[in-house]
Structure 1
């Protein structure tokens, strides 16, 4: 699992960078089964609260919140491991992501992403696939950008790809 690279914002809703970085480090260590202190639980992620800097830069609230929602799946006891039935979950328990769509800002071509994600999930779940995906292919994949047409949110797709690369590394 790779630590996310949040953008930095000086205005608007933002979280304190130091607090977020420290919490994300604990999440990554827990997900990778490294001991750097107490493990982070799904409840810790759901109840996380960060200060808002009065002056100076911070991380955008929506980027951090999106990461935290995804991080719940990586932690022990998270939705991907809790044993809840999901028809789209494969043999290894890796389920299909739900990406937000965008129209008025740049996004990724939906058909290209769907096709690639289908191959990633089949590979990660050990299902038969004509062209198994490698971690290097995930790292180097490029999707066509779309503007003014419906596309997938770039940050969400990239976050999923970072996670998927860890599955196959």
Structure 2
């Protein structure tokens, strides 16, 4: 596995290079399954925080590092991908469709958790025939737009979008 190359910047959002290098070394060791005592968990990657270098001291681009960490989560043991987030058989033990659990993201853009949860609750009530104040339509699923969040916890955009595709199929019925 190749070591990532981050842009070196003197201004703007940047991270202390030594902090980033130490975390990246642990991520690579874990992803490459090297048992050298430096293993890291997905939660540690998600909760990583870096110091900002003093003014005009070179650091790594925060955008580059954040993008790398988002991708790195997928390489680590314990990461759930969309296949595990949306059940292959979307029926629970009592015959109802089951709401997915989305991967929280912090280092890259995600969807607002509160908005997604509220909408998914309405979708699940609608598809499972439970009472809901405003049932969701297939048209609403096609046009819904969630607020983007960054640097605070949000839901993985790809997973939410994949769920919306599935929910749209549920509400559209067979073609």
1:122-164 Cα distance to aligned partner (Å, 9 max, x none): 0000000000000010010000000100000000000000000
1:51-88 Cα distance to aligned partner (Å, 9 max, x none): xxxxxxxxx9x6xx9454467524xxxxx45xx63xxx
- Alpha-carbon deviation of 1:93? 1.6
- Match in the other structure for 2:119: 116
Greater RCO, CA 8 A, separation 6+: 1
Stretches of structure 1 that go unaligned for 5 or more consecutive residues are 1-10, 12-59, 75-79, 86-90
- Match in the other structure for 2:97: 94
- Name the CA distance, whole Å, in 1 between partners of 2:97 and 2:136: 14
- Match in the other structure for 1:155: 158
- Name the CA distance, whole Å, in 2 between partners of 1:68 and 1:97: 10
- How do 1:31-42 and structure 2 match up within 5 A? none
Give the 4+ runs in structure 1 shifted more than 6 A.
none
Superposed CA RMSD in Å reads: 2.6
Q: Which has the larger radius of gyration?
A: 2
Residue 88 of structure 2 is aligned to residue 73 of structure 1: yes
- Alpha-carbon deviation of 1:96? 1.3
Q: What's the secondary structure of 1:108's corresponding residue?
A: strand
TM-score, normalization by structure 2 = 0.49
- Match in the other structure for 2:19: none
Residue 144 of structure 2 is aligned to residue 141 of structure 1: yes
- Name the CA distance, whole Å, in 1 between partners of 2:136 and 2:156: 22
TM-score, normalization by structure 1 = 0.51
Distance 1:68 1:147, change over 3 A: closer
